[in-house]
Amino acid sequence: MPEIRVTPLGAGQDVGRSCILVSIAGKNVMLDCGMHMGFNDDRRFPDFSYITRSGRLTDFLDCVIISHFHLDHCGALPYFSEMVGYDGPIYMTHPTQAICPILLEDYRKIAVDKKGEANFFTSQMIKDCMKKVVAVHLHQTVQVDDELEIKAYYAGHVLGAAMFQIKVGSESVVYTGDYNMTPDRHLGAAWIDRCRPNLLITESTYATTIRDSKRCRERDFLKKVHEAVERGGKVLIPVFALGRAQELCILLETFWERMNLKAPIYFSTGLTEKANHYYKLFITWTNQKIRKTFVQRNMFEFKHIKAFDRAFADNPGPMVVFATPGMLHAGQSLQIFRKWAGNEKNMGTVGHKILSGQRKLEMEGRQVLEVKMQVEYMSFSAHADAKGIMQLVGQVEPEGVLLVHGEAKKMEFLKQKIEQELRVSCYMPANGETVTLPTSPSIPVGISLGLLKREMAQGLLPDAKKPRLLHGTLIMKDSNFRLVSSEQALKELGLAEHQLRFTCRVHLHDPRKEQETALRVYSHLKRWAPRSFWLGLGRSGARGGSHCASRQRPQGPLRAAPSRWVRDCGVHPHPGCCPLRGPRHQGAAGVLDLPG
């Protein structure tokens, strides 16, 4: 039985380190190759021993697909390709290809420079890894090899994020990566064909959340920033350089313009200029509004937002600073935080400790830093919420759904919702757990022109939307199937037609006269026997034909029997050996079951 197998090596019931193995019709694909930011050792990378145990990676995997440039989706790529030794192609969209090495390089810098890690991938490895990348366009069908094809769809979320359809013959899987079903200030909403895959693998970060209006969140954010600045305070916004940062920049820029505010806004990293460069370069990937107004004014050329110099942090008066990294674990955002945390007029959003209400933090050299500044947490994350996920499942119409990139408890809730409301089976494997889905492959069958003409002569024109039965004989020759008329089948296979006469003695207990009884039997046989007999034969051919017309799974022995019969016919060396047996014989016998 053909099947699709899915094993998450990461993102199985967790958020972070996305890496999912999919086997479809004998092809093996790795979806994303992310790392876990919470670890400082090899545990940050997915456990590839699952694949490497049975030999070389390159022999096992047909391709790797990266959905977008976030490190939890691509951070392990250089490790995987240059240190573990994957040699095959890596597919991603053009913006992801452009931005991915910058983020990898940046992460390498933090790991090697700030944390002093040895045995980390080098710049040369990032370059060698990027040489294996094949960039794809949206909606472009890319042929990985003769059988495996992939196609990218717009996913929103961040610049260049894509969902991927992976297809081998008639079997397919759709992987969403991270996506957003509502457009925001700079990106559009995710969109995909109604491609009816066997399986949809979807992220489920916000599996239980129905998010409030984005407008409310934005208003709240602007109000708080405005108040802090009015008080003469300083606002620190720790962000990751690419993605949400641009969304907030557009938001503040527009607000500053409208309110005619003068307090300076700074962006603290050299990465930003690069980021904005790429947003300009890949303007077609942004939303409709930005694309339309691009000619008059580029939204990413900010008037109010200036590059930050570390000396500015000591300047008196209000200011807003976007600083990286987003979780205040190192670098500039942490330095600024140390400077400003002691002043209650200031505001900042920070990592775990402060977010959870700690007000006294130990800093280097056993110094204790008292946090007097106001701390706010605001979510601008661009993931689909529960409603969005349901909407996408409805849009794609998959046969099954598999949840990844979320927490087990939330997944459980969404799984039930999908199964109950959409009547689609849903899976949520943990890391290392394999989900196996049986598939019903559709086997292409060629139909002889003669047979087709005969069918057409009955006046019914072919209609793609209405599959219908076609009667004929199924022949398997050189791994190909053909449906032909029985005469042609006999001719092609060099078989002589045999006529079989079935006789049997039947004792009839009929009180009527002998002649009357004979007449009754005769008229009954005349009415039923020939048709039933040929129906038995005809049906066998038709069953084979229906295989190609619809994608239903074979359900009983009747389906298996004809193909076995045909195969016997095709290879049997003795034409005299009659293939008629089994079900047809029973069909003929049933005729004598006289009604009351």
Partner 1 sequence: MDPECSQLLPALCAVLADPRQPMADDTCLEKLLDWFKTITEAGSSLLLLQENPCLVELLCHVLKPQDLSSRVLSFSLRLTGVFAAQEDCFQYLQGDSSLFVASAAGQLLVHILSLSMRGPAEGPPGLQADDWPACAQKIVGHIEESLRSTAAPQITQALNVLTTTFGHCHDPWTQVLWVQLHPLVAALLEKDPVPAAHSLVDLLLSVARSPGLSSSSCGLWETLAQTLSHLSPTQAGLLALGILKLQDCPQALRAQAFAVLLQPLACVLKATAQGPGPSGLLDSTSADSVTADILLPSKAACVGLLCRTLAHLELLLPLPQRPCPWPQAPLLGAAVTLLQLCGGSGSPASDEGRQLCTLLLGCVRVQRAALDFLGTLSQETGPPELVTQVFAVLLEYLRSPDSSPTVLKKAFQATFRWLLSSPRTPGCSDLDSHALLFLRELLPVLQKRLCSPCWEVRDSGLEFLTQMTRRWGGQAGFRHALLASEVPRLTEQLLRDPESYVRASAVTAMGQLSSQGLCVPPASPEHPGGQQKSLLGELLHILSTDSEGFPRRAVMQVFTQWLRDSHADVVGDTEQFVAGVLQVAGQDLDWEVRAQGLELALVFLEQTLGPPRSHCPYAVTPPVAAPASPLTQALQPLCRVRLFEFAFRALFDCDRPVAQKSCDLLLLLRAKMASSSSLQEPRSSPDVASVEAALQRWRAGDQAQPLGDLEPEVVLAVLRSMDLEGLRGALAESSDHVEKSPQSLLQDMLATVGILGENEADCY
Q: How many residues bind partner 1 (CB under 8 A)?
A: 71
Nearer to partner 1, 207 or 225 (CB): 207
Is 454 a binding residue for partner 1 by CB under 8 A? The answer is: no
Minimum CB distance to partner 1, residue 492 (Å): 22
| 149 part of the active site | no
Q: Which residues from 65-94 bind partner 1, rule CB under 8 A?
A: 70, 72, 87-89
**C-alpha–C-alpha distance, residues 449 and 324, integer Å:** 68
Burial of 595 (C-beta count, 10 Å sphere; 0-12/13-18/19+):
exposed
Strand order across the 199-203 sheet: 141-143, 148-154, 162-168, 171-175, 199-203, 400-404, 425-427
Instruction: Report the Cα–Cα distance between both ends of the chain, in Å, rounded.
Output: 44
Q: Which of 220, 362, 419, 497 binds partner 1 (CB under 8 A)?
A: 362
Is 508 a binding residue for partner 1 by CB under 8 A? The answer is: no
Nearer to partner 1, 273 or 568 (CB): 273
4 within 8 A of 201, measured Cβ to Cβ: no
Is 9 a binding residue for partner 1 by CB under 8 A? The answer is: yes
Q: Which of 222, 283, 355, 578 binds partner 1 (CB under 8 A)?
A: 355
Is 407 a binding residue for partner 1 by CB under 8 A? The answer is: yes
562 within 8 A of 540, measured Cβ to Cβ: yes
Is 344 a binding residue for partner 1 by CB under 8 A? The answer is: no
107 within 8 A of 122, measured Cβ to Cβ: no
Q: Which of 52, 123, 343, 517 binds partner 1 (CB under 8 A)?
A: 123
Minimum CB distance to partner 1, residue 109 (Å): 7
Nearer to partner 1, 353 or 520 (CB): 353
**C-alpha–C-alpha distance, residues 375 and 506, integer Å:** 96
Minimum CB distance to partner 1, residue 53 (Å): 8
Is 455 a binding residue for partner 1 by CB under 8 A? The answer is: no
**C-alpha–C-alpha distance, residues 358 and 228, integer Å:** 21
Site string for partner 1, 187-226 (x = CB under 8 A): ------------------xx--x-----------------
Looking at residue 442, the DSSP 8-state letter turns out to be P
Q: Which residues from 308-327 bind partner 1, rule CB under 8 A?
A: 310-311, 326-327
A 10 A CB-CB count for 182 gives 18
**C-alpha–C-alpha distance, residues 189 and 185, integer Å:** 11
Query: Among 113, 133, 118, 10, which residue's Cα sits nearest to residue 69?
Result: 133
Is 501 a binding residue for partner 1 by CB under 8 A? The answer is: no
Nearer to partner 1, 108 or 584 (CB): 108
Q: Which residues from 142-181 bind partner 1, rule CB under 8 A?
A: 146-147, 178
Nearer to partner 1, 43 or 581 (CB): 43
Is 571 a binding residue for partner 1 by CB under 8 A? The answer is: no
Nearer to partner 1, 39 or 522 (CB): 39
Q: Which of 203, 218, 253, 455 is catalytic?
A: 203
Q: Which of 363, 508, 560, 594 binds partner 1 (CB under 8 A)?
A: 363
Site string for partner 1, 38-57 (x = CB under 8 A): xxx--x---x-xx--xxxx-
Contacts of 417 (CB under 8 A, 6+ apart): 386, 390
Helix or strand (DSSP H, E) at 165: strand 162-168
347, HSE (Cβ side, Cα atoms, 13 Å):
21
Q: Which of 151, 383, 471, 547 binds partner 1 (CB under 8 A)?
A: 383
**C-alpha–C-alpha distance, residues 311 and 159, integer Å:** 32
Contacts of 24 (CB under 8 A, 6+ apart): 4, 166, 168, 171, 172, 173
Site string for partner 1, 258-297 (x = CB under 8 A): ------------x---------------------------
Contacts of 172 (CB under 8 A, 6+ apart): 24, 165, 166, 195, 197, 198
* Enzyme catalytic residues: 203
